[in-house]
Structure 1
Amino acid sequence: MVGLGGPEVGIRTPAFRFLLGAWTVSSVGDGVRAAALPLFTAVSTRDPLAVSAVAVATVLPWLLIALPAGAMVDRWRSRNTLISAHVFRCAVTLLLAGLVHTGDAGVPVLLGCAFLLSTAETFADSAGQTLLVSSAGPTDLERANGRFVSTETAGVEIAGPLGAAALFAWHPALCFAATALALGIAASLVAAVPRRTERAPQRGTGSLRAEVLDGVRFLVRNPPLRAVVGVVGLTALLTSGVNAVAFLYAIESLGLPAASVPTLLVCTAIGTLSAVPAASALSQRLGNGAVMVGALLVLAIGMALLGAFDAPAAAWGAYFVMGLGAGAWNVLSAANRQRLTPRPMMGRVTSAHRVLAWGLMPLGAGIAGPIAETSSLRTVILGASVLTAAIALAATPRLLRLNRA
């Protein structure tokens, strides 16, 4: 499709294909790194405090850096920002690979690399979202996000961890070298995206702080957008609580062998991949809002299945169902968030959305432990199921208005 006097847009254009290719390759690299970094920390230090510290360093930039990063991305050209972020992450992981190989990757190095990689990722995420909207165009957002969610799920949750397992057994440094290679290839693919695909950014006239606040205010004052992002934050709170206790529940209550527990995540990934094409097709027939409400209810049903049955097979089925609900929701919520956000604010709103989702995850995980201690693991899971269903029903009027918005 060609806009009047503008560049060609849509999921069938070379620009989108190059961007999707970059997203695919970088997702595999991120999956390798996400599995290898905590594993290497655990193996090399045997220290729970070190493992916890690296985990915090990985998440911290999403709370401290993401909002100003989004404002800066709105000031810069998204294509150049994404290339720079990939190149920077490539250099850091290549350095980390060398230090791991020489035995010099101590805890300070691991902390620094984890923080720097996630900091660069906050820029890459906002720039990638902005470039996705520019290359896909407004009419193809559901299908474009479907392809992005599919490739990210396959890369981060399946191909990346499997690749990390094979490379780590050979030599841990190879995991980080492979990540660096993937990010370098991703940068080259983004460089192949035509410059004319993106619009020139609007230079900020105020301070960075003022622009960040403008983005947050726009999100809060826009009822449909506030509904989408608010549901994301609340469901992130609940699902992180479930995730915090689910593995222990699977081992102690369901009798699942510890070595089989990671297969639950594979079931989630398969469910997500299955939901993506169905979500886009159903939204065409029923409307985005109705399908999004249905996706939340499916997620709640998956949690209920996990907590209600004691058979290991039920756990695999429950995780597949949760993947269906989460996958459909992620595709449509991203498309609607992008559609409701003015292009000059895309980076800021995307970052505010990430901060809300990531910021509430530690809170959910922290609450789940004491609740399980005073009641039971099952109570946490079933309670999250009931609350997710309640959120879906409470948000239904707002979400159904998305079709008109």
Structure 2
Amino acid sequence: MTLSGATPGVAYRDGNVLRWTAAYTASVSGDVVFFLTLPWAVTRMAGPAQVGAVLAVGAVPRAVLMLAGGVIADRFGPGRVVIGSDLARCLIVFCAAGLMQFAAARLPLLFAVALIFGVIDALFMPAVGALAGRLTDVGQLGRVQGLRMLAVRLSNAVGPLIAAIVLSAAGVAAGFGLAGLLFSLSVGLLLAVRLNRIQPGVRSTGSPFADLKDGLRHLRRNRQLTRLVVVVGLGELCFSGPVSIGLVLLTAERHWAPAVLGWTLSAFSVGGAVAGILLTALTRVRRAGVALACCLLATAVLVGTLGQVTTAGLLIACAAVLGALSGVASAIGNAVLQRKTDPRYLGRVSSVTSLSTVGLSPLLYPATGFVAAAWGTGVFFAGCAVICLLAALIAATKSVRGSEL
């Protein structure tokens, strides 16, 4: 991965950005396949009771080490860290595939795979967030985030279908092998990506801990940046998994067929993909801060409504609109955040938002089930609506709503 001083073109016509988009799509698809194959393997080997334990073994180091991953991304450059961690993920899942195929695999193997994968993810997540902010000039960041949203939602829509076909036809080893192939495709594409937004300054000569404190001080000194981080973190917290689990519980509570759940989750992904296409096509987002606050407010209302829906058709329609609204809010929020962040701190700032979305959201999984069992899924969705409303209120403050793209 190289740096280039050439002036980048429109994001969706820039081969460099499109290579990154393809690489990111392959990587996210690999994530989807891996995180479906792992619990499938655990269930077949030890029963469903061990699934939560294995996933927790991966989630804990991911959350604990996420801020350190941001420091590493800024010290060594997000490009190197993304390629290295993607390559490491490729190797670990290929090893898992080989052991599942040719050795007498045991449950400790899956615990080890989950643990190592979680540690690597703590490096990968902040770096990939920082990398998106250095692909092109600041005028194209909204389009880059639109492409990112398109990649995520398409991967979430198609990935489970591919994984299900492979697992049913060829088993767990093939599932891990498919994830490894997707990660290797991502690495190959990333090697051809160049960085156009130059990172100023000299590499830190202090300790990693000093760099971490410097990054946190940078956030604390910049009120607008701090509020943007909180808005993005709160806005995405419920959509990194808890809402999907809530939809599973809602369809079960209403005694709807599994097909309703499938259509609902697909509609959510398609809505986000449409939002990504729209944002990619726009020349600019006027009054981006106001648009962000309005989208988050509408998202809060719609999330609260989901818990009260009583017909399957209305649930699917609401999910599609929710996917679009949350996609727009996420893309605008991340684009504004990256525009306002000094490139020297992109990794550390990205690690804070990643901690909120990927690191902490798994902690809501037990709460999701508990709240739904005790008071019903309507109360859970109302709680998610309150979180989105809080994000909207912060986005409506003067320092955030005046943001432009």
TM-score, normalised relative to structure 2: 0.89
Q: Percent identity?
A: 25
The corresponding residue for 1:311 is 311
Q: How does 1:141-152 map to 2 (within 5 A)?
A: 141-152=141-152
Q: How does 1:4-403 map to 2 (within 5 A)?
A: 6-10=5-9, 11=11, 12-48=13-49, 50-102=50-102, 104-155=104-155, 157-171=156-170, 172-194=172-194, 199=199, 202-238=202-238, 242-252=243-253, 254-279=254-279, 284=284, 286-386=286-386, 388-397=388-397, 398-403=399-404
Q: Distance in 2 between matches of 1:259 and 1:107?
A: 32
Q: Distance in 1 between matches of 2:285 and 2:7?
A: 27
CA contact (8 A) 2:8 2:196 kept: no
CA contact (8 A) 1:81 1:124 kept: yes
> How far off its partner does 1:348 sit?
0.9
> How far off its partner does 1:220 sit?
3.2
Q: Which amino acid aligns with 1:380?
A: F
Q: Distance in 1 between matches of 2:283 and 2:234?
A: 23
Q: Distance in 2 between matches of 1:300 and 1:37?
A: 33
> How far off its partner does 1:66 sit?
1.2
CA contact (8 A) 1:153 1:269 kept: yes
Deviations 1:309-361 (A, max 9, x none): 21111221221122112100111111111111111111111011111233442
Deviations 1:96-141 (A, max 9, x none): 1111113533222112112222322332333333332222211100
Distance 1:13 1:396, change over 3 A: same
Deviations 1:199-255 (A, max 9, x none): 487321221112112212322332222222212333455556544433222222x33
Distance 1:250 1:305, change over 3 A: same
> How far off its partner does 1:380 sit?
2.3
Q: Which amino acid aligns with 1:9?
A: P
Distance 1:153 1:103, change over 3 A: farther
Distance 1:293 1:251, change over 3 A: same
> How far off its partner does 1:91 sit?
0.8
> How far off its partner does 1:300 sit?
1.8
Q: Distance in 2 between matches of 1:132 and 1:70?
A: 14
> SS in structure 2 opposite 1:40?
helix
| Greater Cα offset, 277-286 or 180-189 | 277-286
Q: Distance in 1 between matches of 2:152 and 2:243?
A: 22
> How far off its partner does 1:259 sit?
4.8
CA contact (8 A) 1:70 1:349 kept: yes
Q: Distance in 2 between matches of 1:374 and 1:255?
A: 18
Distance 1:114 1:340, change over 3 A: same
> SS in structure 1 opposite 2:89?
helix
Q: Which amino acid aligns with 2:26?
A: V
Q: Distance in 2 between matches of 1:384 and 1:354?
A: 18
CA contact (8 A) 1:29 1:183 kept: yes
CA contact (8 A) 1:300 1:322 kept: no
Q: Distance in 2 between matches of 1:278 and 1:14?
A: 19
Distance 1:376 1:81, change over 3 A: closer
Structure 2: unaligned runs, 5 residues or longer: none
Q: Which amino acid aligns with 1:65?
A: L
Q: Distance in 2 between matches of 1:225 and 1:51?
A: 38
> SS in structure 1 opposite 2:396?
helix
CA contact (8 A) 1:158 1:266 kept: yes
Distance 1:193 1:73, change over 3 A: same
> SS in structure 2 opposite 1:269?
helix
> SS in structure 2 opposite 1:215?
helix
> How far off its partner does 1:390 sit?
4.9
Q: Which amino acid aligns with 2:148?
A: F
Deviations 1:135-171 (A, max 9, x none): 221110000111112112212x122111101100122
CA contact (8 A) 1:243 1:365 kept: no
Distance 1:165 1:242, change over 3 A: closer
Q: Distance in 1 between matches of 2:369 and 2:26?
A: 36
Q: Distance in 1 between matches of 2:381 and 2:135?
A: 40
Distance 1:134 1:250, change over 3 A: same
Distance 1:390 1:28, change over 3 A: closer
Q: Distance in 2 between matches of 1:194 and 1:363?
A: 36
Distance 1:40 1:386, change over 3 A: same
Q: Which amino acid aligns with 2:300?
A: A
CA contact (8 A) 1:241 1:367 kept: no
CA contact (8 A) 1:250 1:315 kept: no
